[in-house]
Chain A
């Protein structure tokens, strides 16, 4: 009986210890991997910002956007009136 208990205890100590060691190594490996990947790949944030800017400064796009929004608002109001 006591042998079983000590077996359980050692399973707990070794098992939990191994899980922590493994995941610690995974944290280190993952962080290292992310750092390497980011060094070779510039962050995509500025690109997205630039794209957004060009879109809103295009007058043709704006006109179209306003037309779409006006139509949507018009439809929404009409729908509400109908209810």
Chain B
């Protein structure tokens, strides 16, 4: 009987809290969206599953050794930890908060005490520390994206870079929105948190993850989930805005064929971009540096093996670790919060404003160039989300004129958007980091 009871007391059913139960449901919903609705499945399957793993009661997969030790709260271990942390209380919850706020050396000491007592870091916690907190995973993914990006359309028509710049307005408008909600007293975001939320409008997963680990790691789960969910929703969010802001005549504009771009131009471009970053904005150097490196490997033609690894095997491996790590941040105490709701709302505002700004900029450029040179539909592609946003521009162009293929023209602003959001990320980190 005693054995039976001990099994019951150790079971998930006995230990599960309402928050954990709810988050497992959230994880299942993410899996449903990924598998059934094909919402960014490459990311949402690992994130959803990671979220479920992180909320298994008693397993502590997403917690550090100290958090696990405090969860089981054996009196002698708690006493040792309190002494290490310099705390007077023996309440595990209070100790946890002191542990979160402590500096790195105390952190390490507490971790060693917990390990001496036989507790260890959870697997997902280790993944998170190594892959995401260090910044490695988002940067490696950015390298892979660089190796997959063809800058040909952008080089053929460099002015489309302006569209990529305009669409970043969504990021900054959302920062202002988050700060405004705080001023009204509806939400409570610091400027760092507001900046991390705004970057959702960049529609670029690795950039959003990188910025939020730098500025607001506790919001990472909500920010990454809303960034990837809205990127999947681009084909639904963008078209109404694009139709509302353009006339039928503008949507029918046929753009002239792009010129041929030589191999040498493609090799020089990442080098020019990197030098410009080095001179002007070193804070964007980690993101754009890896991006340019990936692109140079692709274009230089002498390291095809490296380029192939960066855009296939490596990016897949990193995606698995990144997804599981982000999922580990979907633990109940961090995700079930009014802030998450605010992030979801602000995220979609960021997308909508960015799309509108891109389209309006394209209209302006079209007016300045005589009214028949640029189809404003390609402006919306400035919000990165490669290549989904460009496909949306192409689809709406075909609706207006069945002979009008805008895909290659939209790829220019699309990759410009990737550069633009990485620059915006660098500016954010510089100003508020």
A: residues with CB less than 8 A from B are 1-2, 4-5, 7-9, 11-12, 14-16, 18-20, 22-27, 29-31, 33-34, 37-38, 41, 43-45
Contacts and interface: CB of A to CB of B under 8 A. Distances in A.
17 contacts: A1-B182, A1-B183, A4-B183, A5-B179, A7-B191, A11-B175, A14-B431, A15-B175, A15-B424, A19-B168, A19-B423, A19-B427, A23-B165, A27-B161, A29-B276, A33-B268, A37-B268
Q: List the 5 shortest-distance A-B pairs measured between CB atoms, nearest first.
A: A8-B179, A12-B172, A23-B165, A30-B158, A15-B427
Contact of B176 (A12, A14, A30, A34): A12
Interface string B378-403: 00000000000000000000000000
Contact of B191 (A4, A20, A33, A41): A4
Contact of A27 (B158, B182, B194): B158
A41 B158 contact: no
B262 interface: yes
Q: Looking at chain B's contact residues, is the secondary structure mostly helix, strand, loop, or mixed?
A: helix
Interface of B: 154-155, 158-159, 161-162, 164-165, 168-169, 171-173, 175-176, 178-180, 182-183, 190-191, 194-195, 260-262, 264-265, 268-269, 272-273, 276, 280-281, 416, 419-420, 423-424, 427-428, 431-432
Given A15-B431, A22-B276, A41-B262, A4 B179 contact: yes
A8 B175 contact: yes
B272 A16 contact: no
A56 to B, nearest CB: 22
A10 to B, nearest CB: 8
B161 A41 contact: no
Contacts of B273: 26
Contacts of A22: 165, 276, 280-281, 423
Nearest to A35: B265
Query: Interface on chain A toward B: helix, strand, loop, or mixed SS?
Result: helix
Contacts of A31: 158
A14 B277 CA distance: 17
Contact of A26 (B169, B180, B265, B276): B276
B423 A30 contact: no
A19 B165 contact: yes
B270 to A, nearest CB: 11
A5 B189 CA distance: 11
A23 B175 contact: no
A37 B427 contact: no
Given A23-B161, A31-B158, A12 B173 contact: yes
B174 to A, nearest CB: 10
Contact of B179 (A7, A18, A25, A29): A7
Given A7-B179, A11-B191, A14-B427, A33 B265 contact: yes
A16 B194 CA distance: 15
Contacts of A29: 272, 276
B382 to A, nearest CB: 10
Contacts of B180: 5, 8
A23 B413 CA distance: 12
Which of A4, A25, A26, A44 counts the most chain B CB atoms within 10 A? A26
A33 to B, nearest CB: 5
B420 A11 contact: no
Nearest to B189: A4
A11 B423 contact: no
A27 B272 CA distance: 11
B183 A41 contact: no
Contact of A37 (B171, B260, B265): B265
